[in-house]
Homo-oligomer: A and B are copies of this chain.
Amino acid sequence: MIDKAPWITYRPELRVLDCTIRDGGLINNSKFTDDQVKAVYHACVASGIDYMEIGYKNSVEQFPRAEYGPWRHCEEEDLRRIVGDHKKVAPGLKLAAMADAGGKSDWKRQIIPAKDSVLSMIRVACYASQISEAVEMIHHCHEQGYETTLNLMAVSIVQEAEIDTVLQLAAKTPISAVVVVDSYGNLYREQIDYLVRKYAKSVEGMKKEVGIHAHNNLQLAFANTIEAIILGCNRVDATLMGLGRGAGNCPMELLLGFLRNPKFKLRAVLDVIQHTILPMRKQFDWGPSIPYNITGQMNMHPRSAMSFRASQTPDDYLAFYDRALSDV
């Protein structure tokens, strides 16, 4: 229809990361069963996905085992129970975990040398005010042999000057990518454009990539993800059926349908969605329902909408809207 239609081809350097178990763990305290995690793992292998983020490296003291499932700590023995001798068996898929700054992670102890782990990448997540610890964590992980990224969370509430400072500091670290993270699902395309260009400029000529992690509060997660791809983002997050906290994430099934790299196999993704993810709908709520639309539009953390959706009146949209307005 147009003279040039770049979307019918593909960029081989683009890498897809599945964060279903990690981001979804924010709904259920990471209490996925072994069978569920195995099914997602095998689907990632079969569909040609590049990275699977299998959980958090969070501290056992702060996130006790009695309350949180094993995918909140990603201890090596738990991981191996699912993936075996992963690096030998399925080297095409790299495993990742997320480590939070702000004291949530006991990273000096928890992050063992990469040669002894099934993990290949640690994504360091921080709020702007935690950037100093995040930089330390990145260096530590790098020294342990991991690939690293910096994920600056909730960017839609960070002041411009702070973003710039974070990017300046991040650029000096050995990260392979800096990720635009729209935690509140608040951003429109033009804001995504602006941030992707800013992030790209901050790492220009350094062989670092820009990533995108979108939330679906305004039904824009997929749209904003492909927008970022068009602008050159080569690290792309998605989850199966959009499973993730609150409104959820960019749906993997839409992303793989958009990418034209023949190495990606949509059928394996549909298979695990049908047999493993869809049944979870009976257990918990995610996706862009109206309370999440409202927090997204108001640039608020989704926690009020999550607790409302878990209440006795999850569809009393008016009550939620009136309360949200009066809280401002």
Interface residues, chain A, with chain B CB atoms under 8 Å away: 1-2, 7, 156, 160, 188-191, 194-195, 216, 218-224, 226-227, 230, 241, 251, 253-254, 257-258, 266-267, 270-271, 273-274, 278, 290, 293-294, 297, 315-318, 321-322
Residue among A220, A258, A273 with most chain B CB within 10 A: A220
Least CB distance, A212 to chain B, in whole angstroms:
14
Least CB distance, A239 to chain B, in whole angstroms:
13
Q: Which residue of B lies closest to A298 (CB)?
A: B257
Number of copies: 2
Chain B residue contacts of A160, Cβ below 8 A: 1
Least CB distance, A323 to chain B, in whole angstroms:
12
Chain B residue contacts of A274, Cβ below 8 A: 315-318
Q: Which residue of B lies closest to A275 (CB)?
A: B318
Cβ contact within 8 Å between A254 and B189? no
- 6 pairs of A and B residues whose beta carbons are closest in the complex: A223-B223, A257-B297, A270-B317, A274-B317, A2-B194, A219-B222
Cβ contact within 8 Å between A251 and B219? yes
Chain B residue contacts of A223, Cβ below 8 A: 189, 219-220, 222-224
In the assembled complex, 17 residue pairs joining A and B whose CB atoms fall closer than 8 Å, in A order, are A1-B191, A1-B195, A2-B191, A7-B188, A188-B226, A189-B227, A189-B230, A218-B254, A218-B258, A219-B254, A223-B224, A251-B293, A257-B294, A258-B297, A270-B318, A270-B321, A274-B317
Give the complex CA separation of A19 and B297 in angstroms.
23
Residue among A191, A195, A318 with most chain B CB within 10 A: A318
Chain B residue contacts of A253, Cβ below 8 A: 290, 293
Chain B residue contacts of A218, Cβ below 8 A: 222, 254, 257-258
Cβ contact within 8 Å between A7 and B190? yes
Q: Which residue of B lies closest to A281 (CB)?
A: B315
Chain B residue contacts of A322, Cβ below 8 A: 267
**Which residue from B191, B219, B266, B321 sits with its C-beta under 8 Å from A321?**
B266
Least CB distance, A237 to chain B, in whole angstroms:
16
Chain B residue contacts of A271, Cβ below 8 A: 318
Residue among A7, A219, A293 with most chain B CB within 10 A: A219
Q: Which residue of B lies closest to A220 (CB)?
A: B223
Give the complex CA separation of A2 and B195 in angstroms.
9
Q: Other than A189-B230, A219-B251, A219-B254, give 15 A-B pairs with Cβ distance below 8 A.
A: A1-B156, A1-B160, A2-B194, A216-B219, A219-B219, A219-B221, A220-B222, A220-B223, A222-B223, A251-B293, A254-B293, A257-B293, A257-B297, A274-B316, A274-B318
Give the complex CA separation of A67 and B269 in angstroms.
40
Give the complex CA separation of A227 and B195 in angstroms.
18
Chain B residue contacts of A195, Cβ below 8 A: 1
Q: Which residue of B lies closest to A191 (CB)?
A: B1
Least CB distance, A120 to chain B, in whole angstroms:
30
